[in-house]
Amino acid sequence: IWTWGRQTQVAAPTVRKEASVVKVVVPQKLENVRLIRWVPLPTASAHILASMQQRLSQTLPKKPPSAVLWTCMLNLKTDWVLAKKIAAKITDPKYTLHDFNADLSAFPELNLYLLDERQTQGKTTVAGSAAPSNMSSGRTIGDEFQRTIGAFYAIYWLMRLEVDGKDGFANGVDDDWKPFQLTDADDMRVTHGDKRIGFKENAQWPFFHKLLVDAHLLEEKKVTSMFKTTTKLVVNEQRLVSLLALTAVHDIMKMSMILPEVQKQHEPYHGYGAGDIVGDHDHALAYVMEHFPDLLPSFRDLESSEKLSVKFTQCNLCFN
């Protein structure tokens, strides 16, 4: 999910005195040091986070089913023009991972992964450059944001298997966001070069392709020329936008501070009574989808048929 790189470090020699004998100690080379390189936060998200921080610093209104969720999502809208641009360009060789990463700002729910509950202060704030905080999943705030972005990247690469998706999926990208193309198992730019090369060569890529077709993310389209009619696979853009929207929201309820409270008119709900906080993150998201969809614009504005599919994955399958 993260981009891993290699760095060779050599510590400076140290001088140690032992019984009037001076020894120069040269440490061994520290090779194969792994560095986690975090996905940068888009500029647009930084502005939204600042606004969220300002609102959360004030007294929160008592809005069901969650005052924090209601406050954070106030007046936020999904940029459907940008979301549809992703779907239209995702197989374009010129549409880079850097472009894709920037365009993910279309989904405002992604900012919820950066919420941070400071128990000692009794207030909810927005995580910035401070150390990552704990979540209900047992991971840290930063981890969950990165994992969600990683899930988006997996979609990006799988939709581009005929372009550069195999290299990107197996090897990651360099500082310029270009996929590594490996031929040498000892390539120092990555870790486990032999495994990466082996995965790319031996992975059952046709199965990945079939998965996309079965999910109707790719579909056949007839192309008629002057002499014959042929078929080719094209992106089902509406379906892909729905998958992107689902990916943006599917784990937001792992932030415990936005878990919903069951309202009187909705009890019982999966065993929860009125006034109870829905602790299961899948049921919590399903509850908001079913009863307060306006708080999730990336779900609310989908076509009716697509909303049914998304609700099925979350409310029935508990997709994770």
Residuewise pLDDT in 10s, the chain (320 residues)? 334 333 444 444 444 544 444 444 444 443 344 445 677 776 677 777 778 878 888 888 889 999 999 999 988 999 999 999 999 999 999 999 999 999 999 999 998 988 865 432 445 544 443 334 445 555 555 678 888 999 999 999 999 999 999 999 999 999 899 999 999 999 988 889 999 999 999 999 999 999 999 999 999 887 777 777 788 889 999 999 999 999 999 999 998 989 999 999 999 999 999 999 999 999 999 999 999 999 999 999 999 999 999 988 877 765 55
CA 172 to CA 178: how far, in whole Å?
8
Q: 3-state DSSP call for residue 61?
A: coil
Distances in whole angstroms, Cα of residue 215 to Cα of each of 9, 110, 148, 165, 287: 46, 24, 20, 18, 25
**Maximal CA-CA distance, the chain:** 94
Q: Which tokens sit at 275?
A: 């006034």
Cβ contact 292:277 at 8 Å = no
Burial zone of 2 (CB within 10 Å; 0-12 exposed, 13-18 middle, 19+ buried): middle
